[in-house]
C-alpha cells in the first residue's frame, strides 16, 4: 500500500486545520506524517480504519472458509500463484500447507485488528520457495549431516539495556555507574 501524500509531522502540530482539510481532500483519505526522529505515522479517519479492518477480516474469513472444502480449496490453490508467484517452486503439499497457514494467520490477525503477524508467514514461505527453486541450495540444506558433534551451544549473551530517554545512567537498575555521595 502506498500513501500518496506526505507531510511533516510538525505541519500537523502547527497547522492542524489545514492538515485535516488536506486529509479530507486526499484521494486515499490518508496522510503519511513524516517524522525526523521516529517511524512515520499514518493519519486517517476512524471510519476509514474501521472499514479497512472489517474488509481485512471478511477477506481472511472468506479464504479460511474456502480452504475447508476440497472443491474451493483447489480454486484457492489455483489462484495463489497470481498473488504469490514464488509458490510455483513449492511442492504441492507445501503449497497447500502455506495456503492454510496464511489463511489461518490472516484470520487470527484480522480478528485481533493487527495484521503484522501475516508478513512473517509470507516471508518464511517465500524463503522456503527460494530453497526449492535453487537445486544446489536445496541439496546442501537437505543433505544428511556427517555426524560430527561440535559440542554444546553456549547461551547467547544478553543485550545491554539502553537507558530510557532522559534517565541518567546512574539511576538505571543494574547500572555500575558511580554515584555522587
State whether 62 and 14 are in the same domain. no
Q: What is the pLDDT of residue 164?
A: 64
Q: What is the pLDDT of residue 181?
A: 45
Residue 157 included in any domain: no
State whether 71 and 32 are in the same domain. no
pLDDT at 173 over 60: no
State whether 76 and 88 are in the same domain. yes
State whether 23 and 82 are in the same domain. no
| Domain count of the fold of the chain | 2
Q: What is the pLDDT of residue 84?
A: 96
Q: What's the domain range around 37? A: 6-44
Average pLDDT over residues 22-32: 85
State whether 21 and 60 are in the same domain. no
50-73 burial string, b = 16+ CB within 10 Å, else e? eeebeebbeebeebbebbeeeeeb
Residue 83 included in any domain: yes
Residues 54 and 51: their CA atoms lie apart, in Å, by 5
State whether 98 and 121 are in the same domain. yes
C-alpha cell of residue 95: 503449497
Residue 14 included in any domain: yes
Spell out the residues 6+ positions from residue 66 whose beta carbon is closer than 8 angstroms to its own: 72, 73, 75, 76, 103
Residue 166 included in any domain: no
Residue 119 included in any domain: yes
State whether 62 and 128 are in the same domain. yes
pLDDT at 167 over 70: no
Residue 74 included in any domain: yes
Residue 173 included in any domain: no
pLDDT at 142 over 60: yes
Residue 121 included in any domain: yes
Q: What is the pLDDT of residue 113?
A: 86
Percent of the chain surpassing pLDDT 90: 50
Average pLDDT over residues 8-32: 89
- Using pLDDT thresholds of 50, 70 and 90, give the confidence band for residue 165: low
Residues 114 and 106: their CA atoms lie apart, in Å, by 9
Amino acid at each position: 500500500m502506498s500513501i500518496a501524500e506526505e507531510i511533516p509531522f510538525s505541519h500537523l502540530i502547527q497547522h492542524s486545520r489545514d492538515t485535516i482539510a488536506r486529509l479530507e481532500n486526499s484521494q486515499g483519505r490518508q496522510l503519511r506524517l513524516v517524522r525526523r526522529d521516529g517511524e512515520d505515522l499514518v493519519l486517517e479517519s476512524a471510519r476509514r480504519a474501521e472499514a479497512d479492518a472489517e474488509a481485512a477480516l471478511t477477506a481472511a474469513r472468506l479464504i479460511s472458509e474456502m480452504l475447508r472444502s476440497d472443491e474451493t480449496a483447489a480454486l484457492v490453490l489455483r489462484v495463489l500463484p497470481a498473488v504469490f508467484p514464488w509458490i510455483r517452486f513449492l511442492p504441492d503439499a507445501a503449497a497447500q500447507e502455506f495456503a492454510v497457514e496464511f489463511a489461518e494467520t490472516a484470520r487470527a490477525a484480522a480478528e485481533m485488528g493487527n495484521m503484522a503477524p501475516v508478513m512473517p508467514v509470507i516471508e518464511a514461505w517465500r524463503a522456503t520457495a527460494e530453497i526449492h527453486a535453487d537445486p544446489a541450495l536445496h541439496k546442501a540444506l537437505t543433505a544428511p549431516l556427517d555426524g560430527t558433534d561440535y559440542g554444546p551451544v553456549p547461551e547467547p549473551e544478553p543485550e545491554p539495556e539502553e537507558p530510557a530517554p532522559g534517565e541518567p545512567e546512574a539511576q538505571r537498575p543494574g547500572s555500575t555507574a558511580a554515584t555522587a555521595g
